């Protein structure tokens, strides 16, 4: 087979793969993007995600690193969305958190977790207590339904599928060579696809599981999938403006309003690699919780019941692993925060790729490593500063 030469071959055209393809190609690299499925992104976790960009709300269950990566990434999304030629729905009107009166204890738990993890100045600046009037002013559709709430100001969301589409168009416009329907590819399969690349960037999410082995015998898998289910409904009668989170001891949910009266209701999180269709229990829980938030969901039309698995490392943090010998950079572990943190994580991975391509390591990879200590893992024998 005739071989085409590239600076970088990216495996996986999900969220991180598309961002990387765009960033590297517009920086002048010759890039091939290889995906097991088609260009619509249907094989990716990104295709079903609610795409909320909620660093404070997530700090109730995440570490400080996620909050910091999230703040940096929301700044990047804002800049990128302004640059993308096709408009992508992007909103920064905050997250509204509400709870039914009987679940008041959930609110104390939520705020104490946020305060324990997020930087105090961020909490002081962004977390605002609301009374019934405050909730109604923000979301008139919820007037009279909740006595209290919290506004997490400045939090955002975007249209996941619009972002995937637009990033791909930009990458193709920059000359990225795409290979679709390639099947389950590994770095060693590239020559068989006619691709010779100086560096491979692995963005296969859960598809890269085999390359993230357990650290110790009998230990947790280095990468595992956590099943997540979301419902997409068309609900012209519902008039929510911003993402709303309902605190509940058993069925905590979020509802993210998207353009054209679409709402994403999510999400379950199950310790399971099962990717079979949504269970009746999950559908009932998600839809009942939405109906209890706003009965106008009763007339909504169910468009999709989606299931995907979130690529998750044992510490629930993202990592970039560099195999200098094989010239492979592996980005993974975006877990439930991919949209929130992928811009900063992928930028750091691209800096490592550029260092491997022969740029000045001090100017590329090292600042990213210093900014996010511990996120970039290299062979112990060759520290980052010697990448070449």
Minimal distance, residue 318 CB to ligand FAD, in Å: 9
Structure tokens of 33?
């993007």
Minimal distance, residue 69 CB to ligand FAD, in Å: 10
- Name residue 263's beta-bridge partners: 233, 257
Positions touching ligand FAD (CB under 6 A) are 11-17, 34-37, 41, 43-46, 48-52, 182, 184-185, 203-205, 207, 228, 230, 266-267, 308, 310-311, 334-340
Q: How far is Cα 151 from Cα 142, in angstroms, rounded to an integer?
A: 14
Q: How far is Cα 209 from Cα 206, in angstroms, rounded to an integer?
A: 5
Minimal distance, residue 238 CB to ligand FAD, in Å: 18
Closest listed residue to residue 354, CA positions, set 66, 106, 27, 60: 27
Q: How far is Cα 153 from Cα 95, in angstroms, rounded to an integer?
A: 7
Q: How far is Cα 44 from Cα 47, in angstroms, rounded to an integer?
A: 5
Minimal distance, residue 206 CB to ligand FAD, in Å: 6
- In the bound state with ligand FAD, the residue whose beta carbon lies nearer, of 313 and 336, is 336
CA-to-CA separations, 344 to 77, 319, 363, 371, 388, in angstroms, rounded? 10, 12, 17, 10, 23
- In the bound state with ligand FAD, the residue whose beta carbon lies nearer, of 149 and 333, is 333
Q: Residue 382: helix, strand or coil by DSSP?
A: coil
- In the bound state with ligand FAD, the residue whose beta carbon lies nearer, of 167 and 230, is 230
- In the bound state with ligand FAD, the residue whose beta carbon lies nearer, of 256 and 366, is 256
- In the bound state with ligand FAD, the residue whose beta carbon lies nearer, of 230 and 369, is 230
Minimal distance, residue 310 CB to ligand FAD, in Å: 5
Minimal distance, residue 160 CB to ligand FAD, in Å: 7
User: Is residue 266 within 8 Å of residue 232, measured between CB atoms?
Assistant: no
- In the bound state with ligand FAD, the residue whose beta carbon lies nearer, of 11 and 365, is 11
Structure tokens of 312?
């998750």
Q: How far is Cα 38 from Cα 132, in angstroms, rounded to an integer?
A: 47
């Amino acid at each position: 087979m005739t071989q085409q030469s590239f600076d970088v071959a990216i495996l996986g055209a999900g969220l991180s793969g598309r961002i990387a393809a765009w960033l590297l190609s517009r920086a002048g690299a010759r890039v091939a993007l290889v995906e097991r499925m088609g260009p619509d992104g249907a094989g990716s976790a990104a295709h079903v995600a609610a795409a909320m960009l909620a660093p404070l709300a997530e700090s109730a269950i995440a570490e400080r690193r996620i909050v910091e990566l999230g703040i940096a990434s929301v700044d990047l999304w804002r800049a990128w969305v302004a640059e993308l030629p096709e408009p992508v729905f992007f909103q920064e009107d905050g997250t509204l958190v509400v709870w039914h009166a009987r679940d008041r204890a959930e609110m104390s738990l939520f705020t104490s977790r946020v305060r324990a993890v997020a930087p105090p100045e961020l909490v002081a600046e962004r977390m605002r207590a609301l009374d019934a009037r405050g909730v109604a002013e923000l979301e008139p559709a919820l007037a009279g339904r909740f006595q209290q709430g919290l506004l997490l100001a400045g939090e955002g969301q975007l249209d996941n599928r619009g972002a995937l589409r637009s990033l791909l168009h930009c990458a193709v416009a920059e000359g990225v060579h795409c290979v679709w329907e390639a099947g389950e590819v590994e770095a060693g399969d590239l020559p068989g696809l006619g691709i010779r690349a100086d560096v491979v960037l692995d963005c296969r999410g859960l598809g890269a599981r085999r390359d993230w082995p357990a650290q110790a015998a009998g230990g947790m898998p280095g990468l595992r999938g956590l099943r997540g289910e979301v419902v997409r409904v068309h609900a012209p009668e519902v008039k929510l403006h911003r993402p709303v989170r309902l605190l509940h001891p058993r069925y905590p949910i979020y509802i993210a309003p998207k353009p054209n009266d679409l709402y994403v209701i999510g999400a379950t999180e199950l310790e399971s690699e099962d990717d079979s269709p949504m269970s009746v229990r999950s559908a009932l829980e998600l839809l009942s919780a939405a109906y209890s938030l706003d009965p106008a969901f009763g007339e909504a039309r169910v468009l999709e019941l989606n299931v995907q698995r979130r690529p998750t490392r044992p510490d629930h943090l993202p990592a970039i692993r560099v195999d200098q010998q094989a010239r492979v950079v592996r980005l993974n572990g975006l877990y439930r925060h991919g949209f929130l943190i992928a811009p900063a994580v992928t930028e750091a991975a691209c800096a490592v790729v550029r260092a491997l391509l022969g740029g000045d390591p001090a100017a590329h990879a090292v600042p990213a490593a210093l900014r996010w200590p511990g996120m970039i893992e290299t062979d112990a024998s060759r520290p980052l500063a010697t990448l070449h």
